[in-house]
C-alpha cells in the first residue's frame, strides 16, 4: 500500500482579479501558507499556464515546475474540464457553453470542437513535459438532455451517442497514451459520463482504452444517491485522481434529486466544504489506501454556504487529518513464529 499524497488544492474556484488569486506566484504563496503541498492547475488562464507553450517547450515546462516548487509545492495534475466539455456539445447547449471557448471559435460549433480537441492534445504533451502521469477533465455530452426520457428515447439513440463520443475521444486518448498520461474523467451530472453505467458504456466503445481513467469525486454521487463507497470497489483500478469535495442530500416533500430549479442553497442536494456534508471520508481514504491509490487528495471548494477562503484553510487540515500513513508491518508481527518450511509441514501433519 501507498500513503496518499496531499493535501493539494484545485485552483479553478479561487482564480480572480485580486491578490493573492491573480497570479501564479501569489496563489502559490497563499496555498503553501495554508499548508498545501500541491496544486491542480486549470489551463485556460495564461496568467497561470500557457498550455500551448507548455506542450511545445520543455524549457518553459521546467521553469513552471521550478516556480511552483520554489514555494514548496508540486503540480498534481493539469485540468481541462472546460475544454473537455467542448469536445462534445449538444446544440441545445451551444449558447451556454460558448462561454468556455476561445473568441475566435465562438458561434462556430465545428471550429469549437476542433479547438477543444487540440487543447486536450496540448494538455497531453504539457503533462508529459511537466512529469505528470494523470490529467483531469470532463467528457462532454451529446445525450444529457435525454437523461430523463420523456418522450421516450428512440431505439438506438444511446448507442449512437456513445459511438460518436468515443469517436471524438479515441484520438485524444491515443495522444495521451503516447505521452504516458492517464485521462481522468470526472464523472459528473451534465456529462455523458455521469455514473458507473455510462462510464462502462464509454469504455466498451473505446475498447477499454487503458488511458480512459477516472477522477473520483464522491460529492456528485451523493446528489445522485449512488453508493460512492462500492463505486471504489468497482473502479479502483481506474481511479487515478481524487477530489475531496463534500455534499449533502436532504429530500423534502417538495423536492428530491432534480432540485426543483432551486438555487444551490435551496436544493435538496447541495455541495459543501469538506467536513460539512454527509460524505464518509474516513471510509473513502481507507478504501483508496487499501487499493493502493498513488495519487493526490485534492481539495475542491464548491460550497453554497461557507466562504471559499475559510473552506480552503479548513480543507488543508481536513485532508491532512484523513491521510493514512501506511503501516510497514503487520500488527501481529510480535507473535510471529518466523519462516520455517519444516515447521509448516509439521503443523499441517505432513
pLDDT at 210 > cutoff 90: yes
Residues spanned by the domain of 277 = 5-348
Q: How many domains does the chain have?
A: 1
* Mean of per-residue pLDDT scores for the chain: 96
Measure the CA–CA gap between 275 and 298, rounded to whole angstroms: 14
Assess contact for 13 and 302: CB atoms under 8 A: yes
Can you give the pLDDT at residue 341?
87
More confident residue, 339 or 91: 91
> How many Cβ atoms from other residues are within 10 Å of residue 123's Cβ?
32
Give residue 154's pLDDT band: very low, low, confident or very high (50, 70, 90). very high
Percent of the chain exceeding pLDDT 90 equals 93
pLDDT reading at 70 higher than 90: yes
Report residue 243 CA to chain centroid gap.
6
pLDDT digits (tens, 9 = 90+) for 245-289: 999 999 999 999 999 999 999 999 999 999 999 999 999 999 999
| Per-residue model confidence (pLDDT) at position 217 | 98
Q: How confident is the model at residue 243 (pLDDT cuts 50, 70, 90)?
A: very high
What pLDDT shows up at residue 172? 98
Q: What is the CATH number of the domain that holds 174?
A: 3.20.20.150
pLDDT-derived band at 168, boundaries 50, 70, 90:
very high
Q: Which three cell numbers stand for residue 72?
A: 514548496
User: Who contacts 330 (Cβ-Cβ below 8 Å, separation ≥6)?
Assistant: none
Distance CA 49, CA 124 (A): 14
Q: What is the pTM of this model?
A: 0.95
**Dist. CA 272–CA 285, nearest whole Å:** 18
CA distance 328 to 326: 7
CA distances from 332 to 8, 186, 290 (A): 34, 40, 18
State residue 335's pLDDT score. Answer: 62
What pLDDT, on a 0 to 100 scale, did the predictor assign at position 6?
97
Per-residue pLDDT at 332: 66
Q: 338 pLDDT exceeds 80?
A: no
Mean pLDDT within 84-98: 97
Please write the tens of the pLDDT for every residue from 15-55: 999 999 999 999 999 999 999 999 999 999 999 999 999 99
> Where residue 299 falls among pLDDT bands split at 50, 70, 90?
very high
Using 50, 70 and 90 to split pLDDT, how confident is the model at 214?
A: very high
* pLDDT tens, position by position, 108-134: 999 999 999 999 999 999 999 999 999
As a three-state string, the secondary structure of the chain is: CCCCEEEEEECCCCCCCCCCCCCHHHHHHHHHHCCCCEEEEECCCCCCCCHHHHHHCHHHHHHHHHHHHCCCCEEEEEEEHHHHHCCCECHHHHHHHHHHCCHHHCCCHHHHHHHHHHHHHHHHHHHHHCCCCEEEECCCECCHHHCCCCCCCCCCHHHHHHHHHHHHHHHHHHHHHHHCCEEEEECCCCCCCCCHHHHHHHHHHCCCCCCEEEEECCHHHHHHCCCHHHHHHHHCCCEEEEEECEEEECCCCCCCCCHHHCCHHHCCEEEECCCCCCCCHHHHHHHHHHCCCCCEEEECCCCCCCCHHHHHHHHHHHHHHHCCCCCCCCCCHHHCCCCCHHHHHHHHCC
Of the candidates 305, 275, 301, 318, the one whose C-alpha atom is nearest the C-alpha of residue 16 is 301
CA-nearest of 295, 342, 339 to 319 is 295
| Predicted pLDDT at 334 | 65
Handedness of CA 264, 266, 269, 271 (dihedral sign): positive
At 134-144, the pLDDT tens digits run 999 999 999 99
Amino acid at each position: 500500500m501507498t500513503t496518499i499524497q496531499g493535501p493539494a488544492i484545485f485552483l479553478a474556484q479561487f482564480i480572480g482579479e485580486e491578490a493573492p488569486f491573480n497570479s501564479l506566484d501569489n496563489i502559490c504563496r497563499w496555498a503553501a501558507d495554508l499548508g498545501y503541498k500541491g496544486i491542480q492547475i486549470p489551463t485556460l488562464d495564461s496568467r497561470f499556464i500557457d498550455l500551448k507553450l507548455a506542450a511545445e517547450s520543455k524549457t518553459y515546462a521546467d521553469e513552471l515546475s521550478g516556480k511552483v516548487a520554489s514555494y514548496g509545492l508540486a503540480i498534481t495534475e493539469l485540468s481541462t474540464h472546460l475544454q473537455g466539455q467542448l469536445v462534445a456539445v449538444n446544440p441545445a447547449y451551444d449558447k451556454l457553453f460558448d462561454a468556455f471557448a476561445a473568441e475566435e471559435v465562438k458561434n462556430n460549433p465545428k471550429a469549437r470542437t476542433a479547438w477543444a480537441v487540440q487543447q486536450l492534445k496540448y494538455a497531453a504533451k504539457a503533462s508529459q513535459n511537466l512529469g505528470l502521469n494523470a490529467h483531469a477533465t470532463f467528457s462532454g455530452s451529446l445525450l444529457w438532455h435525454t437523461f430523463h426520457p420523456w418522450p421516450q428515447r428512440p431505439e438506438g439513440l444511446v448507442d449512437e451517442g456513445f459511438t460518436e463520443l468515443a469517436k471524438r475521444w479515441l484520438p485524444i486518448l491515443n495522444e495521451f497514451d503516447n505521452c504516458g498520461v492517464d485521462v481522468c474523467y470526472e464523472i459528473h451530472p451534465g456529462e455523458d459520463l455521469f455514473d458507473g453505467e455510462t462510464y462502462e458504456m464509454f469504455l466498451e466503445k473505446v475498447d477499454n482504452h487503458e488511458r480512459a481513467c477516472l477522477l473520483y469525486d464522491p460529492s456528485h454521487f451523493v446528489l445522485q444517491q449512488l453508493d460512492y463507497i462500492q463505486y471504489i470497489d468497482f473502479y479502483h483500478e481506474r481511479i487515478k485522481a481524487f477530489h475531496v469535495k463534500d455534499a449533502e442530500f436532504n429530500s423534502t416533500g417538495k423536492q428530491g434529486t432534480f432540485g426543483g430549479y432551486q438555487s444551490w442553497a435551496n436544493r435538496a442536494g447541495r455541495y459543501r466544504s469538506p467536513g460539512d456534508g454527509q460524505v464518509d471520508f474516513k471510509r473513502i481514504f481507507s478504501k483508496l489506501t487499501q487499493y493502493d491509490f498513488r495519487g493526490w487528495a485534492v481539495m475542491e471548494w464548491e460550497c453554497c454556504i461557507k466562504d471559499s477562503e475559510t473552506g480552503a484553510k479548513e480543507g488543508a487540515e481536513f485532508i491532512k487529518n484523513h491521510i493514512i500513513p501506511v503501516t510497514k508491518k503487520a500488527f501481529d508481527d510480535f507473535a510471529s513464529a518466523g519462516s520455517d518450511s519444516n515447521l509448516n509441514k509439521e503443523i499441517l501433519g505432513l
